């Protein structure tokens, strides 16, 4: 088995096989077929930060493939509350499991878990570092949505909006799209949450293009895909909070119809902050046909089943094991 810690581990061939596998697992995600390639396997699920979709879709994915799950959430309920180290925690829980999925607030900490683990470790988000399974489901969805419109990721224009400073899904996405060619990014974030300089270099080094925009309207104008993000309030310093005064919506139906393409694809890693003045994607776009946010979450289950199949070395058995559900 192998760890999945960063999108930098992946190449185009790895993406092709992972996406093919995710596609063959679609009927399992939809419950019309079963596949029990992980029967007898145990997942250790360790989430030290809040999560709805990442934790539940990883756990659901493992069980959909016939495996079982042991889990702990937050710092209060594990013995980290008694001062136990990452090293000892990883060594202990990996002894009970065949794979670990870990989310932790410190950048680089999931790699520390991997160093001490005796089984493959999947990074489910390490602070403002990476969230590779999210990038994979984003890419898988982007490809599906663009292909449905006769387009492809190569040559696409992608607007990236919101918290470009702390949004780890943004960072991983800019990075992984370096595997594709002629992608143009049009980025807009409030000045205090602007994209760190290193990511302009990441994009340029990969041969893609990045354009810094002064408004949402300017960013979304020619965009095939509009990728929105939530302000990562839990990562703002006191100084950030003083300089970030955000009001209204990041994107709503009025802005979208005034500036965006009618066939635009709207994505968001979610959660979106539904509180007033949260500067996020407004629910008034929910009837827009290009809104792909729940197709992203549904695809997350397929991508995570595919990740486990590869990490545990059973990907070749998927097709043989597919059979109609009994219900
Ligand atoms: N997109 C995402 O990581 O969501 P959760 O924090 O709910 O897992």
Q: What is the ipTM of this complex?
A: 0.98
Under 8 Å between Cβ of 242 and 216 = no
Compare 148 and 81 and report the one with higher pLDDT. Answer: 148
Q: Is residue 252 very low, low, confident or very high in pLDDT (cuts 50, 70, 90)?
A: very high
Supply the mean pLDDT for the chain: 94
Under 8 Å between Cβ of 260 and 223 = yes
Q: What is the mean predicted confidence (pLDDT) over 198-227?
A: 96
pLDDT of residue 1 exceeding 70, the answer is no
- Is the C-alpha dihedral spanning 214, 220, 224, 226 positive or negative? positive
Q: How far is the CA of 289 from the centre of ligand 1 (A)?
A: 23
Q: How far is the CA of 52 from the centre of ligand 1 (A)?
A: 6
User: Quick check: CB of 97 below 6 Å from ligand 1?
Assistant: no
Structure tokens at 243: 């300089």
Dmax (CA) for the chain in angstroms is: 57
Q: Please choose from 269, 274, 281, 294 the residue to mutate so as to test ligand 1's pocket, defined by most ligand atoms within 8 A of CB.
A: 269
Domains of the chain listed by start with CATH number:
7-130+297-324 (3.40.50.1370), 132-295 (3.40.50.1370)
Atom 5 of ligand 1: nearest residue by CA position: 51
- Give the residue from 152, 112, 215, 109 showing the smallest Cα distance to 12: 152
Q: What is the mean predicted confidence (pLDDT) over 12-40?
A: 97
Say how many CA atoms lie within 13 Å of 19 toward its Cβ: 17
d(CA 228, CA 281): 7
Radius of gyration of the CA atoms of the chain, in A: 20
d(CA 177, CA 154): 9
Structure tokens at 128: 């403002």
Which helix (H) or strand (E) segment is 288 a member of? none
Asked whether the whole model's pTM tops 0.90, one would answer yes
């Amino acid at each position: 088995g192998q760890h999945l810690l960063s999108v930098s581990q992946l190449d185009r061939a790895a993406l092709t096989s992972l996406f093919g596998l995710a596609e063959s697992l679609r009927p399992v995600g939809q419950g019309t077929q079963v596949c029990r390639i992980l029967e007898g396997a145990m997942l250790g699920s360790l989430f030290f930060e809040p999560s709805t979709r990442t934790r539940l879709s990883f756990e659901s994915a493992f069980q959909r493939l016939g495996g079982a799950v042991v889990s702990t959430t937050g710092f209060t309920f594990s013995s980290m509350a008694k001062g136990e180290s990452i090293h000892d925690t990883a060594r202990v829980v990996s002894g009970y499991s065949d794979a670990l999925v870990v989310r932790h607030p410190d950048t680089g900490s999931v790699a520390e878990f991997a160093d001490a683990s005796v089984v493959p470790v999947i990074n489910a988000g390490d602070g403002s570092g990476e969230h590779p399974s999210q990038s994979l489901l984003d890419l898988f969805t982007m490809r599906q949505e663009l292909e449905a419109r006769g387009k492809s990721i190569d040559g696409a224009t992608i607007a990236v909006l919101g918290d470009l400073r702390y949004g780890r899904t943004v960072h991983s996405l800019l990075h992984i799209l370096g595997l594709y060619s002629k992608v143009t990014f049009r980025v807009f974030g409030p000045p205090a949450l602007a994209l760190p300089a290193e990511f302009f270099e990441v994009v340029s080094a990969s041969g893609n293009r990045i354009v810094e925009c002064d408004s949402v309207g300017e960013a979304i104008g020619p965009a095939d895909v509009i990728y929105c993000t939530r302000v990562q309030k839990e990562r703002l310093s006191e100084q950030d909070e003083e300089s970030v005064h955000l009001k209204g919506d990041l994107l709503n139906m009025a802005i979208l119809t005034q500036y965006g393409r009618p066939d635009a694809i709207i994505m968001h890693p979610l959660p979106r902050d539904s509180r007033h003045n949260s500067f996020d994607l407004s629910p008034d776009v929910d009837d827009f046909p290009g809104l792909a946010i729940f197709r992203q979450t549904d695809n997350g289950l397929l991508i995570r089943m595919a990740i486990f199949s590869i990490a545990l070395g059973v990907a070749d058995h998927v097709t043989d094991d597919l059979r109609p559900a009994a219900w």
